[in-house]
């Protein structure tokens, strides 16, 4: 390897500076509202995590995932029926 210092890289075009007020944040960073699917899937994700954990503990991952999905979807379905009433 060469121990000689490398020459600095020169830019061909100048960089334009942008004021902070001109930068818009993407809509994905806004807080989620109740009633959207992203909030309604909380039980599914939580039960799936528990299912995977118990599947690993009891050395039967397929049954753990299946039970986690079934329980999570059941809780989501019952929760969505309550919200509609």
pLDDT in tens, 63-72: 999 999 999 9
Cα gap 19→13, rounded to integer Å: 19
Rounded-to-integer distance, Cα 65 and Cα 51, Å: 5
> Which pLDDT value is given to residue 60?
95
Widest Cα–Cα separation across the chain: 75
pLDDT at 23: 58
43 or 37, which is more confident: 43
Contact assessment for residue 62 and residue 54, using Cβ atoms and an 8 Å cutoff? no
Are 31 and 67 in contact by the 8 Å Cβ rule? The answer is: no
d(CA 72, CA 80): 12
1-17 pLDDT tens trace: 567 777 777 767 766 66
- Record the pTM: 0.50
């Amino acid at each position: 390897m060469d121990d000689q210092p490398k020459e600095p890289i020169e830019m061909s075009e100048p960089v334009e500076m942008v004021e902070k007020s001109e930068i818009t944040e993407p809509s994905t960073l806004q807080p989620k509202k109740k009633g959207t699917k992203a909030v309604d899937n909380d039980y599914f994700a939580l039960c799936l995590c528990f299912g995977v954990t118990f599947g690993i503990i009891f050395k039967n991952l397929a049954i753990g995932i299946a039970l986690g999905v079934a329980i999570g979807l059941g809780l989501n379905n019952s929760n969505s029926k309550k919200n509609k009433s």
